[in-house]
Amino acid sequence: MIMVVVFTFIAGWLGVVAYRRYAMSAAILDVPNSRSSHVNPTPRGAGLIFVVLSVGVWGGLSVGGYIEWSYAAPFLLSLVLTAGVGFYDDLAGASPLLRLAVQTIAVIISLLAFPSLPEIQWFGWSTPWPPVVFSILLLTLVWLVNLFNFMDGIDGIAGVETVSVLGGGILLLLVGDGEAYALYPLVLMAAVAGFLMLNWPPAKVFMGDVGSGFLGLAIGLIAIISAIETQVNLWCWLILMSVFIADATMTLMRRIFRGQRFYEAHRSHAYQRLSRRWNSHAKVTGLLLAFNLLVLFPLAMMVMYWPQSGAAIFILTLGGLMAGAWRCGAGTCDN
């Protein structure tokens, strides 16, 4: 399996190098405007490389019997649908309604096709009725798809979030009797790490909607599979992702409250405001990495061993981070 990970990383790196050359010649560029956080035209849509690579490797592993087909089939189908509408949006532009419709269909396919759904524990009480669990997971997954798109606004941040969250999840799986399911996050982490070689500040490529939506759904589905089959419950994954969840949620709430068009591009997320305040994408992205590893991972580890504490720890963590996003002015301006 080490060779699979090494191959995926190298192929992802070289694939993005090749894509960048093609995108430059074909003028597939993200041209800066008043709502951008970059200053030079930059190739977009490079997330297609880690999408194709991850789906291909996962497909090969399922054929070889290394991952269960009962999970792999709906997992891959829903991810291809989400990435497909994202790539169409990168090339030609898709309406918010079309994107939302395809994302919702993709999530429904995966949830209906999975052999079972995980329990959701709230302060020692488990959600008993499957339609309630289904509805909660549906809304959560669709939100994850979109919040990754919202949070992919400065160099390296979505890639670093993915690698650090998946890295933490892999460690939890290895100590939580989930080795058999670590291949899902391992493959994706390696592919995105290869992409990060050209996306770290100053970025030479952007992942685009094809990559960001794919990552949000992939991490969400990996979390569900691990919660069904291993000791790594949903709260562990939500805690690992809580910086992204807090910033996107606070920004969205304030923009809606202020009567702004929340679905349009803007520069008012807390991380965007910090990058302008510090005049550095690298400092913000590095801070995210350090916080995920030094604060959120230990909390997630705690919740794996004491799952009854999951809801409380997540709510407290999310509340603190949302307060921090509020203090940073998340959602208050676009300049």
- For the stretch 88-109, pLDDT in tens is 998 888 898 999 999 999 999 9
Q: Is the pLDDT of residue 186 over 90?
A: yes
pLDDT tens digits, one per residue of 133-182 = 999 999 999 999 999 999 998 999 999 999 999 999 999 999 988 898 99
Stretch (H or E) spanning 190 = helix 183-199
Q: Is the pLDDT of residue 119 over 90?
A: no
Angle among Cα 243, 246, 252 to the nearest 5 degrees reads 135
The answer to whether 103 and 82 have CB atoms below 8 angstroms apart is yes
> What is the percent of the chain with per-residue pLDDT over 70, rounded to a whole number?
96
Position 299 in a domain: no
Position 28 in a domain: yes
Position 124 in a domain: yes
The Cα 285–Cα 190 span in angstroms is 19
Tokens of 114: 């999975």
Region 36-53: what's the mean pLDDT?
86
The Cα 132–Cα 15 span in angstroms is 42
The answer to whether 13 and 194 have CB atoms below 8 angstroms apart is yes
Position 21 in a domain: yes
pLDDT tens digits, one per residue of 10-26 = 999 999 999 999 999 99
Position 244 in a domain: no
Exposure of 70 in the CB half-sphere (CA atoms within 13 A): 8
Tokens of 295: 């604060």
**For 39-43, 61-65, 127-131, 187-191, which range has the lowest pLDDT when averaged over its residues?**
127-131
Question: To the nearest 10°, the Cα dihedral for 9, 10, 11, 16?
Answer: 90
The Cα 183–Cα 189 span in angstroms is 10
Stretch (H or E) spanning 254 = helix 242-257
Q: Is the pLDDT of residue 183 over 90?
A: yes
Instruction: Report the DSSP pairing between strands 29-30 and 42-43.
Output: antiparallel
Neighbours of 70 (CB within 10 A): 13
Position 225 in a domain: yes
Residue for token digits 């409380």? Answer: 312
Q: How does DSSP assign 80-122, residue by residue?
A: HHHHHHHHHHHHT---HHHHHHHHHHHHHHHHHHSS-----EE
Position 80 in a domain: yes
Q: How many domains does the chain have?
A: 1
Give the structural domain span for 212: 2-232
pLDDT number for residue 335: 47
Position 87 in a domain: yes
Q: Which residues pair with 122 in a beta bridge?
A: 125
pLDDT number for residue 30: 81
Please give the model's pTM, rounded to 2 decimal places. 0.94
